[in-house]
Structures are given as structure tokens and as C-alpha cells.
Amino acid sequence: MDKLKSVLSGEEARREDRTVLETVNEASSLSWATRIKGFVACFVVGAAFTVLGVCVLFLPRIGLTLFIVFYTFGNVCALGSTMFLMGPLKQLKRMCDKTRALATTIMITCLVLTLCAAFWWKNFGLALLFCILQVLSFTWYSLSYIPCVREALLKMLAMCMK
């Protein structure tokens, strides 16, 4: 009976029009405590991989490659950790906001280019450059969530350049 009601009222058609992200977002019914635990766990894993990457950096032959992999995976985990707090759809919408779109694009591009430079092009100098750009773009992206901080940093940088 409920199925018939939903078909006649048009609810069934609206359910089919939803995107995959909307469906995933609605399906996540985690409690706030579970979201916090997921955020902390994912963030700690990301931080651990980043630190591990720095620790293996100086190993002969494979150190730089391991650093690039661990560091990039750590950044992806840290970025993914915020999806526990906001939900995946809201996170993706916020990442594409006008104030964050450029930083998000640069950050994701640098993540991909770092791995390409290390494994495909085998140019470790370029891979390190992209790692540095990852740090800068991830920092700039993160600062966009704190009101007025980026503007204050730009003003301070402009004063230092005079």
C-alpha cells in the first residue's frame, strides 16, 4: 500500500531523479559522536601517513618514492576526514564554492601531478615541487574555512613587500 501511495503521489519519480551524491548523503545517518570519531580516525591516519612519509624520505633508493606516496595519501585522508563532519555532498559543494574553487583545483591537480611525476615521468625534482605546492594549496584551502584569515594574510604579505 505504501508503495502504491508513493508511486501515485510522485515520490517514486523524485527518488529516481536524485543524484548518486544525494543518495549517499541521505543514506549516511551517522550520529554526531560517530561522525567525530570518524573524523578523528581519518585525520589521525592521514597525519600518520604524512609523518611516516617524512620519516622514510631519507631511505636510500626508495625513500623519495615512499615519501611521495605516503604524503599524498596522508593529504587525501586529511581531506576526506572532513566529509565525516559535513557529509560528502556538502563537502563537495563547499570545495567548489567561489572562495575555494581555485585552491581546490590546484590542490587536486597537485595531488595527481605528484603521483604522475613520481611514477610515470620518473622526475623526482618535479614530484617534490608538486609536494610543496600540495602543502601550500592545502593550507590555503584550509584557511578558507576560517573567516577573514586569508584576507589578513594577503594584507600582511602586501605590507611586507613594500
C-alpha cell at 67: 615519501
Listed by start position, the domains of the chain span 31-161
pLDDT, tens digit, for every residue of 117-146? 988 998 889 988 999 999 899 888 888 888
Cβ atoms of 79 and 33 within 8 Å: the answer is no
Q: List the chain pLDDT tens, one digit each, 162 residues.
A: 555 455 445 555 555 556 665 665 565 677 888 888 999 999 999 999 999 998 998 888 888 889 999 999 999 998 888 888 888 888 889 999 988 899 999 999 999 999 999 889 988 899 889 999 998 998 888 888 888 888 998 899 899 988
- Backbone phi and psi for residue 98, each to the nearest 5 degrees, phi listed first: -55, -40
With a CB cutoff of 8 Å and minimum separation 6, the contacts of 2 are none
User: Could you tell me what percentage of the chain is helix, strand and coil, using 3-state DSSP and rounding each to the nearest 5?
Assistant: 80, 0, 20
Looking at the whole model, is its pTM more than 0.85? no
Using DSSP's 3-state secondary structure scheme, residue 122 falls into coil
Rounded Cα gap, residues 74 and 44, in angstroms: 9
